[in-house]
Amino acid sequence: MSKRPTTIDDLTRICTPSDPQMSPDGSRIAFVLKTMDAEKNKYFSHIWMVPTAGDGEARQWTRSQNSEGSPRWSPDGRYLAFTSGREEKKGQIFLLPTDGGEAEKVTDLPQGGIGDIAWSPDGTRIAFTFRPTDEAWREEAVEERKKKERSSPPREITRLHYREEGTGFVGGGRWHLQVLDIASRTIRQITSGERDYGPFCWSPDGARLACVTNTADDPDLRPNAEDLFVFPAAAGLPEGTEPQKLNCPPGPKSALAWSPDGSHIAYLGHDKADEVWGVTNVHPWVVPTDDGRPARDLAPNWDVHCGSAAMSDVAGGGESGPFWAEGSGGASLLVLASEQGAVNLYRLALGGEVAPQRLTEGAHAVPGFTTDARGETAALLLGTPLDAGDLYALSLQDEDFPRRLTWLNQELFDEVELSAPETFDAPTAAAEGHAVPSWALLPPDFAHHPTPRPTLLYIHGGPHLMYAHTLFHEYQALAAAGYVVLYPNPRGSKGYGEAWTSAIRGDWGGPAHADVLACVDYAIAQGWADPDRLGVLGGSYGGYLTGWVVGHADRFAAAVAERGVFNLQSMAGTCDFVWRDHDYFDANTWDDPADYLRNSPLTYAGEITTPLLIIHSEGDLRCPIEQAEQLYAALKRQKKEVVFLRYGPEANHNLSRGGPPDLRLDRQRRITAWFDTYLKKEK
């Protein structure tokens, strides 16, 4: 049967798996599956289950009219704990019997956010982090004001970090560690004070909880100055006593895992407490729990970032490890690492003398995994450039190839024709002899009609993330519409060593500009790209670099700058991300802004001649909409060819990946129409 071209509307049919959770006995995997309901203009996330033996299909386990997430197995495998707002639209914790039956709500929390949840080793308690919404801004208070026709009260802001992308105003609440006793339904708060707490993990005997908190004088100014503490899990700290502080260097810490013998805690992090931009590679560390010896990096010379730095507009994620397991040399850690455009599973020996062992191999990304209780079998979420991710099982004893368990989007992918990307390294002298890792999607008919085509250079955001071997529906739809789509990992990207990542520090435009143009030059030389019909686009940092490119070159016939950064001086005072003065950029916003202005595309707006579509959302707190307003006004006053596409407050920085379905479709249609106008007109 012949296949049809991919369309923009196919986005509504792609379902996205995430958060694979292996059962303690290794027989089943619970996972979250997100689907899009175009008619209701909503997403729904539900918990599904698939057997690891490969002898059964995946089945849906929850079916509420709201969504569920964070499935976590009880130690005996009899229950799944999960979070949901299925009652009163307030997030709560529910328990679902795994042998059948209805889910039961076990918490009665006020409106707020539930973070991580984890069962105690004996299965009698669940620890979780929670941040309450300020009473004045809970739904019932807002509705009461509307009934009485009263105005909203002012917000008294005293913190630097008072807003969060995707959340909104933070308010006065803090993330604190709580413990739910399942039998009595009582909740004990373990941590207190004006600092946020989390991540956390249980000790093997269930007597203690390790938890991360920031210990800087002002955590908002030093968000990565984190330390690791141990608390008693049963009764909390006696009044006037302090928790046990483990001997770890200050720095970011996530994904805590206590060793089965109780002697160590593993975590992902590094020791650069003042590095907030993500240049430094994250590694697995281990710290002794009782004898005061210092923490150590298990792979200090491994120039690789642990965790997933891969991007996609339809792929999900999950846990990155570390998880404890037994290898041929004894105790070891399992962890994901991002390298050369792939994300793979690795084993690291606790002793550190043996090089990290790669357990998966291929042109793919593994954005999430967990293991069974014995560390013998892993549940993998694995995606490729031709699928949106599926569930796999991997025997860690046999070190066999992962066994695929699901084909969640097979019906759609049997129907549409996807283009397999070409991978290449674009040579450039500007990168000191290093080629620029890149991908190209060619139109499906290119093999039969190999003539140069209109070409789009799509620049990724971050900037310290990476394109990977993952599916981008938008890029497939553009290729099906007749475009060559180029997507490179220029300097600044993760996955190619810290030197490559840090090359743009203090120089966001120069090195990456040279690299993305090298990608275009390569495509022209291959006969893929028509040099007279070139377009450039990108979002976030990709929007920044798009603005930079068109202000420094006139090679492109049209451009789209989406949710971009255009004025670093104002950005440093308006975004939700904490900026450190005279650090990553050698500037501050008030009396020494020169380096900000030198690096800002707005400074070069007078040189822009390329027709530009600016896309931004009013709900964007990461790159506030004032960025787009400034560039649009500057170009419009010069009578340049510019259009400002302004989405409302229901859309945020994540519009292209998780925004309202109707707006995601509208956005893609408008981008395609923009480039059709300028790149497909008759010569």
Q: Which residues are CB-contacts of 293 (< 8 A; sequence separation ≥ 6)?
A: 247, 287
- What mean pLDDT is reported for the chain? 95
Q: What is the pLDDT of residue 428?
A: 86
| Cα–Cα dist 332/112, whole Å | 37
pLDDT for 366 beyond 80: yes
Q: Which residues are CB-contacts of 72 (< 8 A; sequence separation ≥ 6)?
A: 21, 80, 81, 82, 117, 118, 119, 126
Q: For the chain, what's the residue count?
A: 683
pLDDT higher for 327 or 360? 360
Determine, yes or no, domain membership for 140.
no
Determine, yes or no, domain membership for 105.
no
| Cα–Cα dist 274/357, whole Å | 31
Q: Which residues are CB-contacts of 102 (< 8 A; sequence separation ≥ 6)?
A: 96
Instruction: Verify that 538 and 669 share a domain, yes or no.
Output: yes
Q: What is the pLDDT of residue 578?
A: 86
Q: Which residues are CB-contacts of 644 (< 8 A; sequence separation ≥ 6)?
A: 614, 616, 628, 629, 632
| Cα–Cα dist 635/427, whole Å | 34
For the segment 156-195, what is each residue's pLDDT rounded down to a tens digit? 999 999 999 999 999 999 999 999 999 999 999 999 999 9
Strands 4-5 and 163-164 turn out to be unpaired
Determine, yes or no, domain membership for 674.
yes
Domain end, chosen from 297, 331, 364, is at 297
Out of 540, 600, 617, 656, the active site residue is 540
Determine, yes or no, domain membership for 591.
yes
Strands of 529-539's sheet, edge to edge?
A: 422-426, 436-441, 484-488, 453-459, 529-539, 558-562, 612-617, 642-647
Out of 434, 460, 464, 653, the active site residue is 653
| Cα–Cα dist 466/485, whole Å | 16
Q: What counts of helices (H) and strands (E) characterise the chain?
A: 11, 41
Determine, yes or no, domain membership for 100.
no
| Cα–Cα dist 198/131, whole Å | 11
User: For residue 489, what is the domain's CATH number?
Assistant: 3.40.50.1820
Q: What is the pLDDT of residue 433?
A: 67
Determine, yes or no, domain membership for 323.
no
For the segment 566-579, what is each residue's pLDDT rounded down to a tens digit? 999 999 999 998 89
Instruction: Verify that 639 and 495 share a domain, yes or no.
Output: yes
Q: With pLDDT > 70 as the criterion, what percentage of the chain qualifies?
A: 98
Q: What is the pLDDT of residue 354?
A: 79
For the segment 126-150, what is each residue's pLDDT rounded down to a tens digit? 999 999 999 999 999 999 999 999 9
pLDDT for 86 beyond 90: no
| Reported confidence tier of residue 22, pLDDT bands at 50, 70, 90 | very high
For the segment 536-568, what is each residue's pLDDT rounded down to a tens digit? 999 999 999 999 999 999 999 999 999 999 999
Q: Residue 313 to residues 181, 385, 476, 657, 664: CA-CA distances in angstroms?
A: 39, 11, 11, 5, 11
| DSSP H or E stretch at residue 21 | strand 16-22
Q: With pLDDT > 90 as the criterion, what percentage of the chain qualifies?
A: 91
* Residues forming beta bridges with residue 393, ordered by sequence position: 379, 403
Q: What is the pLDDT of residue 38?
A: 95
pLDDT for 525 beyond 80: yes
Answer yes or no: are the C-beta atoms of 578 and 160 closer than 8 Å: yes
Q: Residue 270 to residues 241, 281, 306, 475: CA-CA distances in angstroms?
A: 29, 7, 11, 35
Instruction: Verify that 472 and 607 share a domain, yes or no.
Output: yes
Q: Which of 181, 177, 293, 323 is nearest to 243 (CA)?
A: 177
Q: Which amino acid is at 600?
A: S
DSSP assignment of 58-83 equals -EE----SS-EEEEEE-TTSSEEEEE
Backbone angles phi, psi at 483, to 5 degrees: -100, 145
Q: Note down the domain range covering 523.
A: 419-679
| Reported confidence tier of residue 375, pLDDT bands at 50, 70, 90 | very high
| DSSP H or E stretch at residue 619 | none
User: For residue 118, what is the domain's CATH number?
Assistant: 2.120.10.30
| 666 alpha carbon, distance to own chain's centre | 23
pLDDT for 399 beyond 70: no
Q: Which of 155, 164, 246, 169 is nearest to 200 (CA)?
A: 246
Instruction: Verify that 293 and 426 share a domain, yes or no.
Output: no
Instruction: Verify that 648 and 499 share a domain, yes or no.
Output: yes
Determine, yes or no, domain membership for 10.
no
| Reported confidence tier of residue 626, pLDDT bands at 50, 70, 90 | very high
For the segment 580-604, what is each residue's pLDDT rounded down to a tens digit? 999 999 999 999 999 999 999 999 9
* Residues forming beta bridges with residue 666, ordered by sequence position: none
Q: What is the pLDDT of residue 397?
A: 84
Domain end, chosen from 274, 297, 320, is at 297
- The stretch 385-409 carries a mean pLDDT of 92
Q: What is the largest CA-CA distance in the chain?
A: 79
CB-facing half-sphere around the CA of 8: CA atoms within 13 A? 16
| Reported confidence tier of residue 432, pLDDT bands at 50, 70, 90 | low
| Cα–Cα dist 657/594, whole Å | 34
Residue 653 designated active-site: yes
**Lowest-pLDDT range, 3-12, 201-210, 264-273, 574-583?**
574-583
Domain end, chosen from 278, 297, 316, is at 297
Determine, yes or no, domain membership for 515.
yes
For the segment 235-276, what is each residue's pLDDT rounded down to a tens digit? 767 777 889 999 999 999 999 999 999 999 999 999 999 999
Instruction: Verify that 282 and 431 share a domain, yes or no.
Output: no
Token digits of residue 64:
């509420």
| Cα–Cα dist 82/427, whole Å | 49
Domain total in the chain: 2
Q: What is the pLDDT of residue 47?
A: 98
pLDDT for 682 beyond 70: no
